[in-house]
Amino acid sequence: MHPMLNTAVKATRRAGQIINRASLDIDLLQVNKKQHNDFVTEVDRSAETVIIDTLHAAYPEHGFLAEESGASANKSEYVWIIDPLDGTTNFIHGFPQYCVSIALSYRGVITQAVVYDPTRNDLFTASRGCGSFLNDRRIRVSRRDRLADGLIGTGFPFRDQSGLDGYLKLFGEMTCACAGLRRPGAAALDLAYVAAGRYDGFFEQGIQPWDIAAGSLLVSEAGGLVGNYTGDSTFLYQHEIVAGNPKQYAQMVRILKPYSQVKKAV
């Protein structure tokens, strides 16, 4: 395992311990609202602190982009992109679908990725050029060719609901096109499931870089494709993502393209 990935794994496991301990006493949690339907707990903050402390101790010159604390001031070619608890709303309800997500970006390219599901002790990892793994076992995207046979993951826009009508139309269109649509509420884990072949594809809009950075490398290293709704591979900061095995990806893009929010440069 690459030394930087090894450090990220150590950080995710430490965060996972904090999350698992807190999950035993969910009723005692202090929950704050950042904005409509957007929650943060002291668990998010504690997990993020232990992740940043672990990474900073190993790589003090590296930068950070984290959900709760934002971007670090130092400028570095290496930036760790961190979601300490993806699926906070699930977590505070005791719904066991949430994870820790850490990615390393080097000169704008994701090179290392960890997604850790602490309730199942599932560790998804990838290093660029070295494949994707679940608990040290190689994983690959599914081989199902037809979208009509595909199980597809998604997420509803929960913070900004101004585009909900369009999204419901898309949701309906995709429901008719595939075998089943699921929205468990933790995008990083959804992408890990695409990498492992548990889903055939995934799409979501209103998404943040820390939700998708690690998961996107897991998918591409597992033989899948990732892009925005138009199929463009520069998706990380564009707030929309589609991922899937190559055949299903192409079929999903055909449906998603008209719904893209990405403004083209004239």
Residue-wise pLDDT tens digits, 216-231: 999 999 999 999 999 9
Q: The whole model's pTM is what?
A: 0.94
Contact 185, 220 (CB under 8 A): no
Distance CA 165, CA 114 (A): 34
Q: Does any domain span residue 106?
A: yes
Say if 156 falls within a structural domain.
Answer: yes
Query: Kindly report the CA angle at 48 between 21 and 44, in degrees rounded to 5?
Result: 55
Structural Rg of the chain based on CA atoms? 17
Whether 90 has a pLDDT exceeding 50, the answer reads yes
Tell me: pLDDT of 179 over 50. Answer: yes
Between CA 250 and CA 244 the distance in angstroms is: 9
Range of the domain at 18: 3-139
Position 66 scores a pLDDT of 95
Asked, for residue 34, whether it belongs to a domain, the answer is yes
Q: Examine the fold and report which residue of 108, 123, 139 is the final residue of a domain before the chain moves on.
A: 139
CATH of the domain at 165: 3.40.190.80
Q: pLDDT tens digit string along 154-177?
A: 998 766 666 788 889 999 999 999
Helices 164-177, 246-256: axis angle to 10 degrees equals 140
Residue 110 sits in the same domain as residue 180: no
Same domain, 32 and 123: yes
Write down the pLDDT at residue 173: 97
Evaluate whether 173 touches 111 at the Cβ level (below 8 Å).
no
Cβ(37)–Cβ(158) below 8 Å: yes
pLDDT for the residue 265: 44
